[in-house]
Amino acid sequence: MHTDLNTILQNIAIMAIPVVLAITLHEAAHGWVAYKFGDPTAKYAGRLTLNPIAHIDPFGTILLPIITYLFAGFIIGAAKPVPVNFANLRNPRRDMIWVGAAGPGINIAMALICGILFQFLVSPSLQIISRSGFFSIVLVPLILMLKEGIKWNIVLAVFNLIPVPPLDGSRILAGLLPHRQAEFMGRLEPYGLLIITFLVFLNPFGFMTYIIWPIMSVLTRLFAGMPVF
């Protein structure tokens, strides 16, 4: 039991920095793009920052991921949503697409950066050097963090692209749809959390099993330089 607890704590320590960084950049990207397109709401709320404290929700970002990891074996969590007033955007229908895509986009970019660094650090020449005690102590945790960085940035990007309000995919889709269908998407928002819970936990028609998880798995392996099939 003591060994299991140590393993869990080590896993949480390795995941903590990549997960917090992925969430922070995701939320800051939404606010920054909204600001560039004319909406200063996030700036006035102090959300155009890379300080994770500004984006962390005590329950959604800290307690919920720990609870779901300990009792379900996987992580579910959320940051405080960045406030965006779409009416302030210069071209609301067009610009909401870019605001919605900013979060997943920065996560894909971060996954790519982590993948490049990961490939460099696991190269045979560097592995020879890392056999010495000091480099092993530094490089092994760094390699593990980069691997987690790839995984969680991909998870955030793909999951948020599901077109269900309030996920980013719904903003992108609403900007592309005709007005009537876009308004229907907006009316779904009060029920969005229920719909997402239904999709994740009840997995209708194998939506998560055969679509979302495989996409995440393929992209994670691809960015880590591993064989996809």
Cα(130)–Cα(120) distance, integer angstroms = 12
Of 27, 148, 183, 189, which one is the catalytic site residue? Answer: 27
Contacts of 34 (CB under 8 A, 6+ apart): 41, 42, 82, 84, 88, 89, 95, 99
Known catalytic residue at 27: yes
Q: What is the DSSP letter of 53?
A: G
Single-letter code of the amino acid located at 221: R
Cα–Cα–Cα angle for 31, 33, 38, rounded to 5 degrees: 90
Structure tokens at 57: 């929700």
Letter string b/e over residues 26-59, b meaning 16 or more CB atoms within 10 A of that residue's CB: bbbbbbbbbbebebebbeeeebbbeebebbbeee
Q: Choose among 169, 47, 155: nearest CA to 99.
A: 169
Cα(20)–Cα(124) distance, integer angstroms = 30
CB-neighbour burial class of residue 192 (10 A; exposed 0-12, middle 13-18, buried 19+): middle
CB 172 within 8 A of CB 86: no
Cα(99)–Cα(137) distance, integer angstroms = 40
Q: Residues with catalytic annotation?
A: 27
